[in-house]
Amino acid sequence: MYCNRYTVKSNGGALRYASPELRDDEEVVNNAIMKDASAMQYASQRLRSYKEFICSLIDQGIELFG
């Protein structure tokens, strides 16, 4: 059973239990990481290696490499 979009958006750590589709959704992952930067480890491989996405998180002041 997977978490839904709203659970992940309000609780970043829930990304761990999200469907592969949600783990690859830029908006959902962005919101999850804003709540909990460690959620980045549960983002899809595509997003974790997508330079523009990473740069946008850094531009928002999110520390990914703390």
Helix (H, G, I), strand (E, B), or coil: what is residue 1?
coil
Whose tokens are 């997977």? That residue is 2
Report domain extents, the chain.
5-59
Query: Contact 13/39 with Cβ under 8 angstroms?
Result: yes
Per-residue pLDDT tens, the chain, 66 aa: give them: 788 999 998 899 999 999 999 999 999 999 999 999 999 999 999 999 999 999 999 999 998 876
Name the residue among 38, 5, 39 with its Cα closest to residue 21.
5
Total-model pTM = 0.90
* Whole-number Å distance between alpha carbons of 47 and 8: 16
pLDDT at 64: 81
Which tokens is 36 given?
């909990």
Query: Contact 43/13 with Cβ under 8 angstroms?
Result: no
